[in-house]
A = this chain, B = another copy of it.
Amino acid sequence: MNAEFVNPFISGLLNVLETMAQTKLTPGKPKRKQGDVAKGDVSGLIGMVGPSVRGSMSITFEESLALTIMERMVGERPEKLDAEVGDMVGEVTNMICGAAKRDLADRGFEFGMATPIVVSGKQHTISHQVSGAKIILPFMCDEGLAHLEICFDK
């Protein structure tokens, strides 16, 4: 997997959070080791199926950051990671993957998106089960950490 496949997801994430929640994230150093795992409190996951590849992406937020995003989107800060925050994370996941899908389709790389799944739970870890490369990208801002993970089967 090369930068051509990863960059549309990164720009999708940065654009969605800046447009929807006036939140600027700073990308950190990517990790590529098989043993590395993304850790956080609420995650959005989505599967991707194309004619020649299969894969998955996830976006994992620390609680503080997820609550801040929600506060900036709806004007009120939720007290905890409730169902509405989950729905927001699912929607953000859909939008990031949808932006990347359109971008990659323009370059001849087609895939279909499954429906998103949201996982909530203090400090859960995500492990994408693929034979190909796994890329975890940390993102920072004052309100907390996010991890974007993109994996394809080849």
Interface size class of chain A, counting residues whose CB lies under 8 Å from the partner chain: 35 or more
Does any Cβ of B come within 8 Å of A153's Cβ? Answer: yes
A49, A58, A113, A123: residue with the most chain B Cβ atoms closer than 10 Å: A49
Stretch of A63-71, A125-133, A137-145 on the interface side? A125-133
CB <8 Å contact, A117 and B86: no
**Bound CA–CA A58/B116 (angstroms):** 12
CA distance A45 to B125 in the complex (A): 13
Q: Is A47 an interface residue (CB 8 A)?
A: yes
The answer on a CB contact under 8 Å between B55 and A127 is no
Tell me the smallest distance from the CB of A112 to a CB of chain B, in Å. Answer: 4
Inter-subunit contact B129/A119 (CB<8 Å): no
Using CB atoms and an 8 Å cutoff, list the residues of chain A in contact with chain B. Answer: 35, 43, 45-49, 54-56, 58, 83, 86-87, 90-91, 93-94, 112-130, 151, 153
